Amino acid sequence: MGNISTIGTAGQLRATRALMKFCRDHRHNPLFVEKLGDCLAALENKDKERVMGVMELFKHAGSGSYLDWRPEVTADNEDPEYVETVWWALNANWHHALSVINKPG
């Protein structure tokens, strides 16, 4: 089952919540927001297989993929460069936080 202590850490939960909120607030495809919610639940339940399944879905590129998106500006204090930078930072942080799950413990 792997090193259970590397699944569902506080950092992984925070990174997933932040990414999910940003994606929801900036109108990402509802399917991907839902899958981030599934990932959060899997992290809370320390379900490695489910987490890895969601991460695999999010790796795919191409038209209509998770990465094929430009977040919308949704607040007066935002501009396109800002929301895109925050999007990529949150995405990188999420991937980094979850990257330890697949490593041998």
pLDDT per residue, tens digit, the chain (105 aa), is: 444 569 999 999 999 999 999 999 999 999 999 999 999 999 999 999 999 999 999 988 899 999 999 999 999 999 999 999 999 999 999 999 999 997 655
Give me the phi and psi of 78, to 5 degrees please.
-110, 155
CA distance 88 to 15: 12
- Compute the Cα dihedral for 47, 55, 93, 66 and give only its sign: negative
pTM of the model: 0.91
Residue 7: strand, helix, or coil? coil
CA distance 62 to 25: 23
Amino acid, res. 89: A
CA distance 38 to 31: 10
